[in-house]
Amino acid sequence: MTGAASGKIAIRGLRKVFADRGGRGGTVALDGIDLDVQEGEFFCLLGPSGCGKTTLLNILAGFDQPTGGEALLDGRRISAPGPDRGVVFQEYALFPWLSVMDNVMFGLIETGTPRPKARETAEQYIALTGLRGFEKSLPHQLSGGMRQRVSLARVLANSPEILLLDEPFAALDAQTRLLMQRELIKIIQSVGKTCFFITHSIDEAIFLGTRVAIMTARPGRIKKILEVTLPYLRDVTSSEFNALKREALKLIEEEVEAAGRQ
């Protein structure tokens, strides 16, 4: 056990420097991040592109190691990827040779669930994510929205402690994105999972998050955390929603300008 853990996820003085190819020096992507994500909350990380959001998520997922500081899940230091953290990638990352059913069963099989039980559980999450009737389809036969449903069902089937979502809807068209945001809220409410959701869209962050952390331009730090107490599903035309939007927009604009000056 390391550090004084308080949240589901605890990030302490996290730094990440990417060494330049061959030479000395490098890119400081994250510079001293301190953050706690509480059990059951929907935590949104909002920041301009290139500020280090994916870098942070990769460290939480265990794909990448920090240069300094540490990240803890339930008080244990994160050092490698594992089924306790389900990652939803912007690029879907489905196995193209496996059917929807086999993609959703993948994690269950790998973690030792017997086939009949795995199939049963997979069917349950296929139904939850609205994929009934597509069990035999291959990923490339599905639309982007459907693929992202598969990718969500695949991690939910594994019953992870937390979901890590890296701009999962950024590649979708505007209508599909709105639909998927609503569906995601319903799904998360029904399974009661903690979420760590990355986005560069202010609307998306305020629509989804119970807390929204705004990052600075590179090197990434946490600039401010906004609490969003509005009940789901949120009315995006309400004055409370717009007041939050205005505040977030002002904070982000400062950072985009700062990035422009770099």
Ligand X SMILES: Nc1ncnc2c1ncn2[C@@H]1O[C@H](COP(=O)(O)OP(=O)(O)O)[C@@H](O)[C@H]1O
The footprint of other proteins (CB under 8 A) covers 61-63, 80-83, 85-87, 89, 91, 93-98, 106-107, 110-111, 138, 140-141, 154-155, 158
Q: How far is the CB of 15 from ligand X (least distance, A)?
A: 12
Token pair of 259 as six digits: 């990035």
Mapping DSSP to helix (H, G, I), strand (E, B) and coil, where does residue 157 land? coil
**How would you classify the pairing of strands 76-77 and 85-88?**
unpaired
- Choose one: 53-61, 93-101, 153-161, 169-177; the region binding ligand X (CB under 6 A): 53-61
Question: Over the range 83-95, which residues count as b (16 or more CB within 10 Å of their CB) and which as e?
Answer: eebbbbbbebebe
Cβ-based nearer residue to ligand X, 53 or 149? 53
Among 22, 124, 12, CA closest to 60: 12
Cβ-based nearer residue to other proteins, 110 or 257? 110
Contact of 83 with 161, CB cutoff 8 Å: no
Edge-to-edge strand ranges of the sheet holding 42-46: 85-88, 162-166, 194-199, 42-46, 211-215, 222-227
Asked if 50 is part of the footprint of ligand X (rule: CB under 6 A), the reply reads yes
Cβ-based nearer residue to ligand X, 153 or 172? 172
> Among Mg ion, other proteins, ligand X, none, what binds residue 158 when CB lies within 5 to 8 Å by partner kind?
other proteins
Which residues of the chain form contacts with Mg ion (CB under 5 A)? 54
* Residue ranges that bind ligand X, judged by CB under 6 A: 18, 27, 29, 47, 49-55, 218
